[in-house]
Amino acid sequence: MTDRRRIFLLLAPALMVIGGLFLTGLGLTLLRSFRYMPALGLTDPDLAAYVAVLTRPDFLASLGFSLWIAAASTLIAAMLALASALLLRQSFPGRAVISFLVQLNLTIPHIVGAIGVLYLVSQSGVFARLARAAGMIAAPSDFPILTNDPDGIGIILLYVWKELPFITLILLSSLQTLGEDHEAVARSLGASRWQAVAHVLLPMISPALLSASALVFAFSFGAYEVPLILGANAPKALAVLAWQAQTEPDLVARPEAMAMAVITALIGLGLLLATLRSLRHRGLHAR
């Protein structure tokens, strides 16, 4: 028996449970999004829920807001993570302390971080009160609006803070696997340090960076708890819109909630498939 088959057999029970739960939930979501709910007398599947969702006045605004949050937080986190990974691969005094600080918030749940951001940087938060006590502002209401704002600044700050260590660790793992031989060869051929990084190192770690960024984007796009706590009343993130429809006392709104969940999942799946295709394309060109 090969090692791969042995590993598969060992993981099979857990995969069957997880796969069964996932496929069951996915199947029920699809059925309800097509308005198939026998308990409510809906036995003829149709696309009415999708039509209702796509024609809602606030749907496009929520979709654009979710895309903005996910894109901005992913781009900023990826850039900072790349800089952090390149820095932490070097040996310097205090490296262990900086590495610890970068990884410190990995175990903190997103919802806890969101509440912390709310208490720290809101207009009634700690920073506003400190600025008022220091005479920097006349009143806490003069503090910049960083939470519950229509631009989603607080949401983006939280996602950057949380996803930065995740991307950094993936890049550090990739850099450790590559070693420093490729850069040394480039330097021996006359390339400067920055040329070796830009033209040799970055293309080699770009698959890891792209994969990690795609996962962060999909998560930021589909999560609802952080936009629910730190977001404004309008526009709302698409996931928040779906959550509110799901918690409506009127059960007739459930198919619309399921339809929004399916649309969100399809957008995330499309992004991941595009990322996978890009990685395969890069691999073919590398050969």
Of 221, 244, 257, 251, the C-alpha closest to 65 is: 221
Q: Within a domain: residue 60? A: yes
2 lies in the same domain as 53? no
200, 191 Cβ separation under 8 angstroms: yes
pLDDT computed for residue 184 by the predictor = 64
Q: Is residue 253 part of a domain?
A: yes
One domain for residues 13 and 125: no
Which pLDDT belongs to residue 92? 74
Q: What is the pLDDT of residue 1?
A: 61
Q: Are residues 264 and 187 in the same domain?
A: yes
Whether 27 and 167 share a structural domain: no
Cα distances (angstroms) measured from residue 251 to each of 35, 48, 228, 257: 11, 15, 21, 10
Query: Are residue 265 and residue 238 in the same domain, yes or no?
Result: yes
Instruction: Verify that 118 and 169 share a domain, yes or no.
Output: yes
For residue 23, the enclosing domain spans: 1-33
Site of tokens 């990884």: 103
Q: How far apart are CA 243 and CA 222, in angstroms?
A: 11
Helix axes 95-103, 153-178, angle to 10 degrees: 130
Q: 178 lies in a domain?
A: yes
Both 25 and 137 in a single domain?
no
Tens digit of pLDDT at every position of the chain (287 positions): 677 788 878 888 888 888 888 888 888 888 888 888 777 777 788 888 888 888 888 888 899 999 999 999 999 999 999 888 888 877 777 778 877 877 778 888 888 888 888 888 888 888 888 888 888 888 878 888 888 888 888 899 999 999 999 999 888 888 877 766 666 666 666 666 677 777 777 878 888 888 899 889 988 998 888 998 988 888 888 888 888 888 887 777 788 888 888 888 888 888 888 877 877 776 544 44
| CATH code for the domain in which residue 243 is found | 1.10.3720.10
- Give this prediction's pTM: 0.83
What's the structural domain count of the chain? 2
The Cα angle at residue 216 between residues 29 and 78, in degrees rounded to 5: 165
With respect to residue 210, please indicate whether it lies within any of the assigned structural domains: yes
Residue 42 covered by a domain: no
Residue 267 and residue 193 share a domain: yes
